[in-house]
């Protein structure tokens, strides 16, 4: 049976050693093979002709970096498909992002790749160069096949209904005007921007539990405590998103003089970020502790914070810093969580001094009814969700586009975006032209942080000169990736976004 060819990576390495001991040459192919097609088969057959035996490693599901809904076929089915081919000696599932570890263990004579990998500059991940170095490190060489090429992603998009009809129709229209290479090129062009992120540093905690049920006395829900995890959230998370695309990022935030969590925060900041922290004696660094079940459903939340206005001296120093440095930055992004850090004087300095100001004023349980986007006149870009828009407009029933246009006029904003969860998002420009996009994610793990990812990428795009339609698309794609990440465990990686855009627009 073909499944007998499926082995572990260690067994694959042992098989290679056995073959070499017999004086035989070994070739290795590596890939996702989500939909096995004629291009794959000819590629594998060509690789097999170059050596005495062909070994194959298949990327495990958790490392398939092609966006929500992928892979369509799980790792076992994909491995079984490959194993069914007569030209293949053995197959293993690789639990890693790249083939480097497999190459170091298998030490093939040839590492076989398709002709589309010949130019390392076309490789979005940069992994092919690392893999080339690995195979050469053990005396092997890379071999490029020159067979019929096709794309599993394109075939899946066209024939397997990976996307809903609404998303497919949107993507067909969008890629008629903007290609993947064009928008990826523009996103890469943001790297030279000098960006300032201003907002609360928040330590997010997830305490993982299992439900036990109602207690024996009283109507109280009881859970079993399992574990906990900490994440660098708030403005830290936004700065980490931004630093994936812009290489010059400063984070201006406030920490508590006691219970500062400074070591944890600095450890979890992208090394390219320059942190500017102001410490307050009267408060801890904000901690938001959430108790969640195995499905990341939130059961209960506890805030550890002091939401009173900052001490006057601290506030004065921050305003003075802003007045001195704001004009040094091309784009200023403000995720305002309304938990006491950003004062009215800071808002005035930001609104007056920023070259390009992108803002979200988040409504949460710690500020509901007291914190609205209306405190930011003259921001260039406003990013809100629908409840935040309706609260700011004091209107629960009017059309979203109408309310967004009125609010943008009131606050003199050039662009306003409204995110709507499963209903997608829309953006209005100065002429009130509305750009709409459906939700691009078919899989949701955790919604925490998706709005921050949207603000980070869409705000950076608009500040960097991309069109509103392109900024809306890039921000929505970033949010679609973010909802697959637990809380702020990691930022939206530039490479992941580029690959997902490529997937969407094939």
Tens digit of each residue's pLDDT, the chain (506 residues): 567 899 999 999 999 999 999 999 999 999 888 878 888 888 899 889 999 999 999 999 888 876 666 788 889 999 999 999 999 999 999 998 888 999 999 999 999 988 767 665 556 666 788 888 888 999 999 988 876 655 545 544 544 455 778 888 898 899 888 989 999 999 999 999 999 999 999 999 999 999 988 887 788 889 999 999 999 999 999 999 999 999 999 999 999 998 999 999 999 999 999 999 999 999 999 999 999 998 899 999 999 999 999 999 999 999 999 999 999 999 999 999 999 999 999 999 999 999 999 999 998 888 888 899 999 999 999 999 999 999 999 999 999 999 999 999 999 999 999 999 999 999 999 999 999 999 998 778 899 999 999 999 999 999 999 999 999 999 999 999 999 899 999 999 998 899 889 888 87
Q: What is the C-alpha separation between 349 and 343, in angstroms, rounded?
A: 10
User: Is 283 within 8 Å of 341 (Cβ atoms)?
Assistant: no
Distance (Å, whole) CA 41 – CA 316 = 67
Q: What are phi and psi of 75, to 5 degrees?
A: -60, -35
Token pair for 77: 């089915």
| Angstrom distance (rounded) from CA 371 to CA 373 | 7
- For 332, other C-beta atoms within 10 Å of its C-beta total 26
**What value does the CA radius of gyration of the chain take, rounded to a whole number of Å?**
26
Q: Is 383 helix (H, G, I), strand (E, B) or coil?
A: strand
Q: Which of 295, 337, 342, 307 is nearest to 204 (CA)?
A: 337
User: For residues 422 and 439, is the Cβ–Cβ distance under 8 A?
Assistant: yes
Beta-sheet strand order (sheet of 26-31): 6-7, 90-94, 53-59, 26-31, 110-113, 141-144
| Helix or strand (DSSP H, E) at 329 | none
- Whether the CB-CB separation of 36 and 69 falls below 8 Å is answered with no
């Amino acid at each position: 049976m073909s499944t007998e060819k499926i082995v572990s990576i260690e067994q694959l390495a042992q098989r290679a050693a056995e073959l070499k001991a017999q004086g035989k040459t070994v070739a290795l192919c590596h890939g996702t093979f989500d939909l096995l097609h004629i291009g794959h088969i000819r590629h594998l057959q060509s690789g097999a002709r170059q050596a005495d035996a062909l070994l194959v490693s298949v990327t495990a599901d958790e490392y398939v970096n092609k966006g929500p809904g992928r892979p369509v076929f799980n790792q076992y089915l994909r491995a079984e498909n490959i194993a069914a081919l007569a030209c293949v000696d053995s197959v293993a599932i690789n639990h890693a992002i790249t083939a480097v570890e497999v190459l170091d263990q298998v030490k093939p004579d040839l590492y076989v790749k398709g002709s589309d990998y010949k130019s390392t500059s076309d490789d979005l991940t940069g992994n092919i160069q690392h893999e080339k170095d690995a195979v050469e490190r053990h005396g092997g060489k890379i071999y490029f096949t020159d067979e019929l090429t096709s794309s599993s992603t394109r075939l899946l998009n066209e024939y397997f209904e990976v996307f809903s009809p609404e998303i497919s129709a949107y993507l067909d229209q969008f890629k008629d005007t903007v290609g993947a290479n064009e928008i990826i090129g523009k996103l890469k062009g943001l790297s030279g921007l000098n960006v300032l992120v201003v907002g609360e540093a928040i330590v997010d905690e997830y305490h993982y539990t299992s439900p036990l049920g109602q207690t024996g006395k009283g109507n109280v829900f009881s859970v079993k405590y399992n574990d906990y995890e900490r994440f660098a959230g708030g403005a830290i998370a936004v700065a980490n998103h931004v630093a994936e695309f812009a290489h010059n990022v400063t984070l201006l935030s406030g920490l508590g003089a006691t219970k500062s969590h400074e070591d944890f925060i600095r450890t979890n900041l992208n090394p390219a970020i320059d942190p500017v922290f102001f410490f307050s004696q009267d408060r801890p660094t904000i901690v938001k502790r959430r108790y969640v079940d195995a499905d990341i459903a939130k059961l209960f939340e506890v805030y550890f914070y002091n939401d009173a206005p900052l001490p006057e001296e601290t506030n004065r120093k921050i305003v003075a810093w802003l007045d001195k440095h704001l004009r040094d930055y091309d784009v200023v992004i403000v995720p305002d969580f309304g938990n006491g850090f950003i004062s009215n004087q800071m808002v005035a300095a930001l609104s007056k001094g920023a070259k390009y100001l992108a803002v979200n004023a988040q409504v949460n349980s710690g500020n509901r009814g007291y914190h609205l986007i209306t405190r930011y006149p003259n921001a260039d870009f406003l990013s809100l969700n629908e409840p935040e828009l309706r609260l700011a407009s004091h209107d629960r029933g009017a059309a979203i586009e109408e309310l967004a246009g009125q609010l943008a006029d009131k606050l003199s904003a050039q662009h306003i975006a409204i995110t709507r969860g499963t209903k997608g998002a829309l953006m209005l420009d100065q002429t009130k032209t509305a750009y709409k996009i459906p939700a691009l994610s078919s899989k949701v793990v955790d919604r925490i942080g998706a709005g921050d990812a949207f603000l980070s990428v869409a705000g950076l795009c608009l500040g960097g000169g991309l069109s509103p339609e392109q900024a809306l698309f890039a921000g929505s794609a970033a949010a679609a990736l973010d909802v697959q990440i637990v809380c702020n465990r990691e930022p939206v990686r530039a490479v992941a976004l580029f690959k997902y855009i490529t997937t969407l627009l094939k």
